[in-house]
């Protein structure tokens, strides 16, 4: 059975447009690899954690670093000791945990779908340990499963790092490849990272162009784009050759359209 936090991560990635259809499992991208931003990446664990995926997310002026994986130990002293040896300070376990904490942290990363809240509404202090810590200009909230899944050797964790209060957000001016930008669009969010050593990138745009104009732009880029109409909900599609997918949907304001483009670098692997 998949752990609750693992489910949460997957649902979050779906919300960001980062989970591809299984038909893309054997794709081999012709696009260049994208390196992680040249920013001091917070290292969560020294000895007891195994990293499964990491993601830098920028939305408007907010920058966050998230990662997920497994930890070998489940007692507070061992976990806190590992964090302290790794340079984290002010480590403490938060009690009377309310699921809205995690909901608020997740919401800082990007516009997540309402489905995420379904998982969070059932998450309580009995099902997750919550630790907070500070290191340099970063503050971290670390969510660790309270009960082991018999099918896994470790406990799933999700860590969300944001600039500490009063600290300046590190500069990061990464821009998407020009061909991804529909004329007249504004970049409102992006994320780059890797999952099981497969680099991934996501760009979120806002535009005054119509859904049809956005779809036409990508179809002109390559005949490999297969895009379906979603009616009043917008459109969605994928490009197997370049391991990319596209989601287009109307914004809340009139004559406002959003589109999310994701690119997962796959090298003959199944997702």
Question: How much of the chain exceeds pLDDT 70, in percent?
Answer: 66
- Identify whether the C-beta of residue 102 lies closer than 8 Å to the C-beta of residue 143: yes
Q: Are residues 226 and 120 in the same domain?
A: no
Provide the β-strand partners of residue 193.
Answer: 55, 200
Q: Are residues 129 and 189 in the same domain?
A: no
Residue 173 makes CB contacts below 8 A (sequence gap 6+) with none
Domain hosting residue 109, numbered range:
4-28+50-163
Q: Are residues 71 and 186 in the same domain?
A: no
Q: How far is CA 137 from the centre of its chain?
A: 21
Inside any domain, residue 10: yes
Q: Are residues 205 and 148 in the same domain?
A: no
SS3 187: strand
Say yes or no to pLDDT of 181 above 80.
yes
Query: Which helix (H) or strand (E) is 107 found in, with range?
Result: helix 99-107
164 pLDDT tier (thresholds 50, 70, 90): confident
Instruction: Examine the fold and report which residue of 163, 190, 219 is the final residue of a domain before the chain moves on.
Output: 163
Instruction: Examine the fold and report which residue of 112, 131, 163 is the final residue of a domain before the chain moves on.
Output: 163
Q: What is the pLDDT of residues 91-142, one digit of tens each?
A: 999 876 655 555 555 554 444 444 444 444 444 455 678 899 999 888 898 9
Backbone angles phi, psi at 93, to 5 degrees: -95, 135
153 pLDDT tier (thresholds 50, 70, 90): confident
Q: Are residues 9 and 117 in the same domain?
A: yes
In our burial notation (b when 16+ CB lie closer than 10 A, e otherwise), range 114-152 reads eebbebbeebeeebbbbbebbbebbbbbbbbbbeeeeee
Q: How far is CA 24 from the centre of its chain?
A: 19
Q: Are residues 84 and 148 in the same domain?
A: yes
Q: What is the pLDDT of residue 221?
A: 92
Q: What is the pLDDT of residue 196?
A: 75
Give DSSP secondary structure letters for 42-59.
----SSSEEEEEEEEEEE
Inside any domain, residue 230: yes
SS3 117: helix
Q: Are residues 152 and 190 in the same domain?
A: no
Taking the CB of residue 192, how many other CB atoms lie within 10 A of it? 21
Inside any domain, residue 227: yes
Q: Are residues 132 and 19 in the same domain?
A: yes
Compute the mean pLDDT over every residue in the chain, rounded to the nearest whole number.
Answer: 75
State the total domains in the chain. Answer: 2
Reference 65, options 156, 137, 154; nearest CA is 137
Instruction: Examine the fold and report which residue of 163, 193, 210 is the final residue of a domain before the chain moves on.
Output: 163
Say yes or no to pLDDT of 38 above 60.
no
């Amino acid at each position: 059975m998949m752990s609750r936090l693992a489910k949460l991560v997957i649902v979050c990635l779906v919300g960001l447009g980062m989970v591809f259809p299984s038909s893309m499992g054997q794709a081999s991208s012709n696009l260049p690899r994208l390196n992680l931003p040249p920013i001091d990446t917070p290292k969560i664990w020294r000895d007891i954690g195994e990293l499964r995926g990491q993601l830098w997310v920028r939305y408007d002026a907010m920058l966050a670093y998230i990662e997920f994986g497994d930890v070998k130990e489940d007692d507070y002293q061992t976990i806190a000791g590992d964090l302290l040896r790794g340079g984290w300070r002010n480590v403490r376990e938060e009690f009377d945990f309310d699921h809205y904490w995690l909901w608020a942290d997740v919401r800082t990363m990007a516009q997540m779908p309402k489905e995420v809240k379904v998982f969070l509404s059932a998450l309580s202090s009995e099902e997750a340990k919550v630790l907070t810590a500070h290191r340099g200009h970063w503050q971290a909230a670390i969510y660790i499963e309270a009960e082991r899944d018999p099918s896994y050797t470790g406990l799933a964790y999700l860590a969300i790092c944001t600039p500490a209060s009063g600290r300046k957000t590190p500069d990061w001016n990464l821009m998407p490849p020009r061909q991804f930008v529909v004329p007249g669009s504004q970049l409102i969010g992006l994320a780059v990272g890797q999952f099981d050593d497969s680099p991934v990138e996501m760009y979120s745009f806002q535009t005054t162009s119509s859904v049809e104009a956005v779809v036409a732009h990508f179809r002109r880029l390559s005949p490999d784009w297969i895009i379906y109409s979603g009616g009043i909900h917008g459109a969605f599609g994928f490009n197997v050759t370049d391991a990319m997918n596209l989601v287009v949907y109307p914004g809340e304001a009139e004559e406002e359209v959003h589109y999310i483009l994701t690119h997962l670098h796959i090298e003959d692997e199944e997702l």
